[in-house]
Structure 1
Amino acid sequence: MDTPDSRETLLDLHRSGKLVDRYPAVPGLLAELSGAELVTAGRLLARLDPAEVAAAHPGVPAVTVAVTGHGTLAQLVPPLTAELARHGLLARPVVSDFDGWVFDLGDPESELYAAEPDLTLCVLDPMVVFDELPLPWRPDDVERVAREKADLVERLAERFQESGRGTLVLNTVPLPHRFAAQLVDHGSRARLGVLWREFNVRLLRLAERFPAVTVLDLDPLVAVGEAATDPRLSQYAKAHLSPGLLARYARQVGHLARHVTGRTKKALVLDLDGTVWGGIVGETGPEGIEVADGYRGEAFAAFQRVVKQLGAQGVLLAAVSKNDPEPVAAAFRDLPGMTLREDDLVRIVANWRPKHENLTELAAALGIGVDSFVFVDDSPYERGLVRHALPGVAVVAVDEEPALHVEALLRDGWFDARALTDEDHARVGRYRAELDRKDFLDTFDSLGDYLRGLDLKVRIAEADEAQIPRLSQITLRTNQFNLTTVRLQPSDVRALLDGPDTSVLAVEAGDRFGEHGVVGALFLRRDGATLHIDNFLLSCRVFSRGIEQACLAAVLAHARDAGAARASGHYRTSPKNGKVADFYQRNGFVPAGPGSPGEHGEHGEHHDGTAARYDHDLADIPDPPEHIHLINGLGGEGS
């Protein structure tokens, strides 16, 4: 859909009062908008009542975003609303009073804390320092005030860590030219630059000290040409960051919101001709394509280097190309100028079938949802077809100018994460092994024979400190085998791990093809004689192998041995976890309560969206599946 049609459609929906009813279509309408057009769309969307949208579309994830800071920040709401909407999220903004940030974050009884936001944006601007300088001022005055403000922000971050929930988002502060220019000697200007950078370094390091804090660096946004401030808005409206910079800041927050709601992408799928290299390899042969040599070839090589950099950080790389497989394989294998090689990609698909069909089959082979894909192609036709057939796929448009490929790929931060884990660095090898497992499956006549041949080992035990980032990541990224879809930051996992009545279990697995690493988590809570399974999650990589039954059997047996009389499992329906709706019932649990008509949905979930409960009396606990060697770190070893 081109930009004018998208704008007009959105405006028509607004005028006709149908925008709430059609809210799930909004991401598609916003996909091609950017800059001022996106902010204009955000103004329309910001007029909607989030409660009304949530009531009409309970499956749309809602994100409560608290906005506080030093200056006027109402102008942040439209771009923020639009950025979340384009990722399929509903923004529930809570905007604080002017210059209320110290009170908001310093008082655990404040309205900000009471809102229990998923994201708390504390927007810092240059005037947080310059408003408190004497006249005349010198660099030493800036050093003193900046140090005091950094100390204050640090104390507030510590208070948030202790009292808040979700994520506190801080930012570095740009230094406007009009302040540096007030110092007439270059030595003083240089000292001001040093002091200001030290101030920003202190802010950036807060993310290292406090797990609940993320710091967005605004310097790269200013470096691409965005003005840091608008002098008139700063003077008259006390809006000390420019609308353009706030819009770019909102885009970064949108990436973060996508991550905290479990919508981070996992795989980058590339077209080849015109995208990874110049020319058509089927017509010219490998030796005729543009890669490395010449100015255009160098641009394609630069794009390949960026792709390889992403792959080294856990992003799965694949290629889907309309081509014969032989010349494609020869290009990756034989061309000396190629940066990407076959070993960098988990799969290369070269055939003449429609690309959306290949993407669907690739997702099934990898064991991930097709909405985990980012697809890059230089053909408007292919991009349009994929958007239409697979609306969950993020489609990145590139064109005949390869020097712009990198910017197009990185613009939306599709793979942004708060932190990387050891699992991320090992992910590509593990998915390669998963494809080997599927090839192994083809050699067996039955699933049972295949499972026995895998030599599957599962270990379940209390989590340790080193596993906290990975366990948080599982809650953020796992959608299908996630019985309540509650998202937890590392600080949340640590609190449950340290709680007197709660425990966190880590599930690890391996087989003849290698180690899977940490693939699952159980969050437990003891209440008298009842053990509550508040959530159970398992990576889609290890579905349908009996791991879930083995872990559940171990937990139930341990609960019985520890004196529990019953166990309760909790399930909350979501758009993607329907395949585990009957998990507890398939494993001997029964719906809690009288089961009166209207109390539960078809699978026991409450119609009001709260978690349904299933009970097990622990009288008859099944053994783990016989093909699994269970290493029970809860109290013994069995197989």
Structure 2
Amino acid sequence: MAEHRPESPADLLRALHERGGTAAAHPELPRLLARAGADDLAAAGRLLAGLDPDEVLRHHPGTPTVRIAVTGRGTVTEAVPPLAAELARHGLLPRFHLSGSGTYVGDLSDPHSALYAHRPEVTLCLLDPWTVWDAVPVPWQPLDVSVAAERQLRLLSQLAEAHAAHAPAGAVLVLNTVPLLRRHTHQLTSHAHRAELGGLWRQFTADLLFLARPSAGLAVLDLEPVTSAGARADDPRLGAYADAHCAGPLLAGYAREAAHLVRGLRGAAKKCLVLDLDGTLWDGVLAEDGPRGVSAAGSLRGAAFGAFQRTVKQLASQGVLLAVCSKNDPGPVARALACHPEFPLGAGDFQTVVADWGSKAEGVRTIAARLGIAPESVVFADDLRFEQESVAAGVPGAAVLPLDGEPALHPERLLADGWFDTPDLTDEDRRRPARYAERAARDRLRTKAVDHHAFLAGLGVRVEVGPAQDHETARVSQLSLRTNRFNLTGARLSTEEVRRYAAAPGGLVLAVRVADRFGDDGVAGAALARTGEGALHLDALLLSCRVLGRGVEEAVLGGLLRAARGTGHTAVHTCWRPTRANAALRGLLETHGFRPRTAPEAGGGATGYTHPLGHIGDLPGHVELRLRLPHRDGETEVSACAPSKN
């Protein structure tokens, strides 16, 4: 009997393509391509590069799309297939605009170029290995290359400024570092000159990387990790005959990094890493070896698990939440995590632990519910294929790491897909694990409290609302990208868009800072408002899910209404646009006295609301509120003090 070989992702996608079913099956592509290797992704990219976005949207109107322009020093056509494949792996549907060969200077400097007519959200300016060398004379010395590199750097800085001026608000220009080829270095016969060239080129690379300001619309992808992993940078034949100098492996690595950046710009970074224990976090089987018998040091194999734990700990230091989902008895798990001397990770590093003998898919859903996050915000790591498939099938949208019995490869596989990558890291990100620990303590108090009102009164909730400081604008942008339940319109704003809103005449960006007796949540919300025609127009209202249910939302909305009336406004106008998760906000508006109005400008199924500022309900009695609303005559403050708890 012939051996049955499972169809590869490329085979399955090819069969879909031949039946004309790729567009209809687009939501299945992330699952289909999740385990695809380099060859399968290359084949998938060639099929997906020609996919019509409009056809996909006819089948699935809610598919997240991203407008991408691709330009560069040479031919950029070959970059599209790997980009299409990598974006499909993350459920994103690209609308591409491709520039001609070598047109990047005109594309980016001319406000009327076809690139800007495309209105890209992301502009990829692909710098191939011949960037700089076009301007180097022959014969040359290292100093000639340095001069040409410095000129290139100034040009790129000018093009970035032009892009910021001419691209749509919030658009990001993406540059990349330029690999230094052996065919260039070894034209120098002197080892001393080669070393000099290497140093000067690395200085150029460093200066290019230091241009990066993702929150201000300029990102730079570092391709050295791609080439150091073995990807060849150039293709001499394609370079000579088609002006396409980037080799396929380099483009594949570039596309992966670019897709991770796009996903991060969309606020789709994962939040929580859920870890198995036996064979994943440590060497050994807890039920057989006992809490002291499992290992993450003491042998070469054990040390590989220790290296994985240190990688996980590094991610946690930047705000990644950690949890355990293990088929083990809870007692031994608790003892192993609490007191094992070899482990870089300890019990205090984990937000929650599910240790039982049930389904791991159910365990992951339980963890998400305990943390108050969506299950699709989870990355699940397990070394057993059965458990991986169980979670992939039972928790749609969760990312599953393809670990196996080789712990030395665990760190590489954890980091391969950049699940936790974000354009900027805020202080709130770094403090996320501490905030969730505070939330857990809060929840424990809630379960003990017989009277919910007494529980709220005992929290000591403090809310301060006032103009966002410059260093807080990145956090306001992040809230707009990540907040779904308490997001008035579903608007997604870049840091630069937040700054422009605040700088516009009459524009106000208010940060909502929250604390209680368990800890300080920092900037947990924001309101964007503007004045005009005697009214306050509330364009955005955002609150992190972690502060909901404490009376914060009622205090902020009620305080804004009081402050608007105190500044002489006759009404507050706002707009609620339905999303998949914000239905409760509509009820909150109506509870606070907002009434529907005709709002043809709202669009997208939105409903306009107006509050006439007549009767305004009471503020929550357990919340201490201080709200400052600037206006042209000064500032109006609304304050309410919660009763003292002695």
TM-score bin (small chain)? over 0.9
Measure how far apart 1:326 and its partner are.
1.7
Inter-partner Cα distance in structure 2 for 1:209 and 1:591: 38
The verdict on how the C-alpha distance between 1:366 and 1:3 changes in structure 2, with shifts beyond 3 A counting, is farther
In structure 2, the partner of 1:636 is 638
Inter-partner Cα distance in structure 1 for 2:468 and 2:24: 44
For the 8 Å contact 2:131–2:178, the answer to whether it is kept is no
Letter in 1 for 2:616: I
In structure 2, the partner of 1:253 is 258
Inter-partner Cα distance in structure 2 for 1:84 and 1:549: 39
Inter-partner Cα distance in structure 2 for 1:53 and 1:528: 43
Aligned counterparts, 1:454-493, within 5 A: 454-493=459-498
In structure 2, the partner of 1:533 is 538
For the 8 Å contact 1:569–1:584, the answer to whether it is kept is no
Measure how far apart 1:562 and its partner are.
2.3
For the 8 Å contact 1:262–1:479, the answer to whether it is kept is no
Q: Does residue 350 of structure 2 align to residue 355 of structure 1?
A: no
Aligned with 1:503 (options 508, 518, 523): 508
* Residues 117-175 of structure 1: CA deviation (Å, up to 9, x unaligned): 12111111222211222222222221121111111111111222333332111111000
Letter in 1 for 2:612: D
Letter in 1 for 2:639: E
Measure how far apart 1:217 and its partner are.
0.4
Inter-partner Cα distance in structure 2 for 1:209 and 1:25: 30
Aligned with 2:282 (options 247, 261, 277): 277
Report SS of the residue matched to 2:538.
Answer: strand
* Residues 70-94 of structure 1: CA deviation (Å, up to 9, x unaligned): 1111111111111111111111111
The verdict on how the C-alpha distance between 1:214 and 1:340 changes in structure 2, with shifts beyond 3 A counting, is same
Letter in 2 for 1:340: L
In structure 1, the partner of 2:125 is 122
For the 8 Å contact 1:259–1:476, the answer to whether it is kept is no
* Residues 415-468 of structure 1: CA deviation (Å, up to 9, x unaligned): 111121111221111100101111111112243332222121111111111211
In structure 1, the partner of 2:27 is 24
Measure how far apart 1:210 and its partner are.
7.6
- Bigger drift between 107-116 and 66-75 goes to 107-116
Measure how far apart 1:209 and its partner are.
9.6
The verdict on how the C-alpha distance between 1:470 and 1:188 changes in structure 2, with shifts beyond 3 A counting, is same
Inter-partner Cα distance in structure 2 for 1:75 and 1:631: 56
Aligned with 1:626 (options 621, 626, 629): 621
Letter in 1 for 2:623: I
The verdict on how the C-alpha distance between 1:636 and 1:555 changes in structure 2, with shifts beyond 3 A counting, is closer
For the 8 Å contact 2:274–2:324, the answer to whether it is kept is yes
Aligned counterparts, 1:84-163, within 5 A: 84-163=87-166
Measure how far apart 1:101 and its partner are.
1.1
Measure how far apart 1:208 and its partner are.
4.8
* Residues 177-213 of structure 1: CA deviation (Å, up to 9, x unaligned): 1111111111111111112111111111111598211
In structure 2, the partner of 1:169 is 174
* Residues 261-303 of structure 1: CA deviation (Å, up to 9, x unaligned): 1211111110000000011111111222231111100000000
In structure 2, the partner of 1:615 is 610
**CA root-mean-square deviation:** 1.9
In structure 2, the partner of 1:307 is 312
The alignment covers a number of residue pairs equal to: 628
Measure how far apart 1:5 and its partner are.
5.0
- Bigger drift between 264-273 and 582-591 goes to 582-591
Q: Does residue 72 of structure 2 align to residue 69 of structure 1?
A: yes
Measure how far apart 1:585 and its partner are.
2.8
In structure 1, the partner of 2:568 is 563
For the 8 Å contact 1:370–1:393, the answer to whether it is kept is yes
Inter-partner Cα distance in structure 2 for 1:571 and 1:54: 24
* Residues 586-620 of structure 1: CA deviation (Å, up to 9, x unaligned): 332222229xxxx99xxxx85xx364322222222
Letter in 2 for 1:405: H
TM-score by length of 1: 0.95
For the 8 Å contact 1:275–1:377, the answer to whether it is kept is yes
Aligned with 1:225 (options 225, 230, 233): 230
Inter-partner Cα distance in structure 1 for 2:214 and 2:463: 34
Measure how far apart 1:348 and its partner are.
2.2
Letter in 2 for 1:21: A
Letter in 2 for 1:373: V
For the 8 Å contact 1:509–1:518, the answer to whether it is kept is yes
Inter-partner Cα distance in structure 2 for 1:586 and 1:637: 21
Letter in 2 for 1:289: V
For the 8 Å contact 1:503–1:524, the answer to whether it is kept is yes
Inter-partner Cα distance in structure 2 for 1:21 and 1:256: 26
Measure how far apart 1:579 and its partner are.
4.0
In structure 2, the partner of 1:48 is 51
In structure 1, the partner of 2:644 is none
For the 8 Å contact 1:365–1:438, the answer to whether it is kept is no
Letter in 2 for 1:103: G
* Residues 43-76 of structure 1: CA deviation (Å, up to 9, x unaligned): 2222221123224322221111111111111111
The verdict on how the C-alpha distance between 1:259 and 1:579 changes in structure 2, with shifts beyond 3 A counting, is farther
Inter-partner Cα distance in structure 2 for 1:3 and 1:567: 61
Measure how far apart 1:581 and its partner are.
4.5
Report SS of the residue matched to 1:633.
Answer: strand
Inter-partner Cα distance in structure 2 for 1:210 and 1:443: 43
For the 8 Å contact 1:59–1:574, the answer to whether it is kept is no
TM-score by length of 2: 0.94
Letter in 2 for 1:638: A
For the 8 Å contact 1:519–1:542, the answer to whether it is kept is yes
In structure 2, the partner of 1:207 is 212
What percentage of residue pairs aligned between the two structures are identical? Answer: 45
Letter in 2 for 1:130: W
Aligned with 2:60 (options 49, 57, 60): 57
* Residues 204-254 of structure 1: CA deviation (Å, up to 9, x unaligned): 111159821111100111000000111111111111211111111111111
